[in-house]
Structure 1
C-alpha cells in the first residue's frame, strides 16, 4: 500500500493507522498502539520525549527507548514523518491527514502547519529564481510570527532594522 492510498482511506485517523500497520504486515503491539494514540491525541508534531511522557496526561507514559524504536518502524512504513521545527529535537506526526509543510517562529517556537498547496507560490518563486524545487515538510520556513514581529517592531527577518516609527 502506498502512502497516498493510506491518506485517502476513509475512517478515523487512528483506525487508518492501525489498518495500515496490518496491511504492511506489522503487528499492532501495545507499544505501537500507544505511540499512534499519542500522535493522534497531539495538537501537532511531538518529540519522542513528549510521547513517552504521555503528552501532558492525554495518554499513558511509556519507555523512551521503546518510543524511539517504534517511531523508527512507523516512519519506515510511511505512517509517521519527522520534522524539525526549530533548534530542538525532531518532532513526529502522523501522515494519515496528508502532507503538511510548516512555518515556524524562531523566537517563540510557534508553528503553523500548512497544506503544501498553500506554499506553491513561494515554491514557484524559488524554482524560477534559483532552479530548486523547494519542500518544507522536513525543514520549515523559519522567521518571526506576527506577534513576535510586532513585539519588537522588527521587519519580517531576524536581524533586520526595526520598523520606522
Structure 2
C-alpha cells in the first residue's frame, strides 16, 4: 500500500511535505529530523522543521517509519520494511550498520520465555567499535 492509500484510509490527504519527508527517510536510511529537514528543504524551501517533526510523528503512527536512539541526540528515523533489524553504532566514527534481527532471535526468545518481555528489535542499538576503529585503536591511531 502506498502513502496516498494509507492516508486516505485514515481520512487524511497526501501533501507534498508528507511525501517529501517519507522519501527523505527512505533515501537517507537512518536520519535525524534535522538531516531529513535539510534533505526536504533542498527540494521545497517552504517546509519548516516543525512540519518535519509533525510529519515524522504521523508517519510513525501510520507504521511506515520507526525511530531508534542511536546517540545522545535526536532520534534516528528509518523505514519500516519486511526485514526488521537492530543497529550497530560505532562510538569511534559514528557509523551505523544494520544487524539482522535473526542474530537476536535467541535473546528475544529468552526474554519472552523467562520474563514475559517482548523485545522491539527495531529500537535496539548496540554500541561499540567497528572493525576499522578497533584496529586503529589497537595500533594507537586516532579514531576514523
TM-score, normalized by the shorter chain, greater than 0.5: yes
* Alignment-derived partner of residue 28 in structure 1: 14
Structure 1 counterpart of 2:132, from 120, 129, 147? 147
Deviation at residue 127 of structure 1 after TM alignment: 3.7
- Deviations, residues 11-47 of structure 1 (Å, cap 9, x unaligned): xxxxx333322233321112111111211222x2111
The residue number in structure 2 matching 1:103 is 88
The answer (yes or no) to whether the contact 1:86–1:106 under 8 Å persists in 2 is no
Deviation at 1:150, TM superposition (A): 0.8
| 1:159 matched residue in structure 2 | none
Runs of 4+ with >3 A deviation: 121-124, 130-136
Q: Residue 35 of structure 1 contacts residue 71 of structure 1 at CA under 8 Å; is this kept in 2? A: yes
Q: 2:33 aligns with which of 31, 44, 48?
A: 48
Q: CA RMSD in A?
A: 2.7
Unaligned runs of 5+ in 2: 140-144
Q: CA deviation at 1:133?
A: 5.2
Note if contact 2:87-2:124 (Cα within 8 Å) is conserved in structure 1.
yes
Relative to the length of structure 2, the TM-score reads: 0.77
SS state at 1:26 partner? coil
- Residue 144 (structure 1) shift: 1.0
- Deviation sequence 1:74-99 (CA, Å, 0-9, x none): 11121111111122210111213442
TM-score normalized by structure 1? Answer: 0.69
**Contact 2:67 2:75 (8 Å CA) reproduced:** yes
Q: Which structure dedicates a bigger proportion of its chain to helix?
A: 2
In structure 1, stretches of 5+ residues that fail to align are: 1-8, 10-15, 155-165
Once the 2 structures are TM-superposed, how far is the Cα of residue 56 of structure 1 from its aligned partner?
A: 9.3
User: Any idea what the Cα deviations from partners look like across 1:115-138, whole Å, max 9, x if unmatched?
Assistant: 3113224545x649x856544422
- RCO higher in structure (CA 8 A, sep ≥6): 2
